[in-house]
Amino acid sequence: MTRVIEAEVAVAGGFELGEGPVWDASRGLLAWVDILAGYVHTINAATGERTWFEAGDSIGAVGLTRGGRLVLALADGFALADHDGEHLTRVPGFSVDRNAVRFNDGKPDPWGNFCAGTMAWDETGNPPGSLYRFAPDGTVTELFGGVGLSNGLDWTDDRRIFYYADSNSGGVDAFDTDPDTGALSGRRRFASVEAADGIPDGLTLDAEGCVWIAVWGSSEVRRYTPDGRLDTVVRMPARQVTCPAFGGPDLSTLYITTAREGYTEDELTEQPHAGDIFACTPGVTGRLPFLFAD
């Protein structure tokens, strides 16, 4: 039987397109982005203190670095910044066509790189996006193209499986990964989402190797076991669910970002918590995020 959990509001804010939560254990902070507004936000889990900074562009994702800084996927390229947004510096020598596509979700990988993908601004899938890998030496590599809407991604602790959501494909795929180099092979479908239910968005793995997938349009995050079986559903009063991440001192809290992008006044009245961040304690712990090797 599928277990059902109700999530509660953890951060009220009504973010337009809240995304990419990440737990900064060294500072006891949850960080996330508001993509279209171009802000990086944090909240101190113990005190409730809030901070934010403007990136000067739309921002698809933020990751942590081994040196205590941030790595960013801006609209058309990558950047590095101090943890408070100071000394933000774009990575030279690489950019995508910002008139056609923008960067969306991304994370550091187990090998110290930062992986992030693109999507079309008009969300029709034309032109197609790609998944890129930004290495610490500044090299940017296209891992693969033909992506409709690049979204959630994560790797297993043994570095042997990579999970990836192309939202327009209606599911999450799994790849085999070389544990030494991260090279991808053996792509196959891991879990599918019926179009009537919504589309797969951000995702994260827990300490048991299960995959938590935000389903945009469903008011749900769904947990799948490594064999692809749905075993838990987290529900919240916001349909546009974007991404889950574990945090808190013992990594037992599941934080979930949502959005209010494109809503009418009537829809916002119906969903007053759209764009808030939700949380629950699902009875399983997460893992510390991988870090970029700056």
Positions marked active-site? 201
The identity of residue 152, as a single letter, is G
Q: Give the Cα separation of 177 and 157 in Å (integer).
A: 11
Asked if 31 contacts 41 with a C-beta cutoff of 8 angstroms, the reply is yes
Rounded distance, CA 66 to CA 290, Å?
A: 9
- Pairwise CA distance, residues 81 & 107, whole Å: 15
Task: Provide φ and ψ at 118, rounded to 5°.
Answer: -115, 165
First to last CA, the chain: 45
CA dihedral 236, 241, 246, 248 (to 10 degrees): -60
Pairing of strands 18-24, 29-34: antiparallel
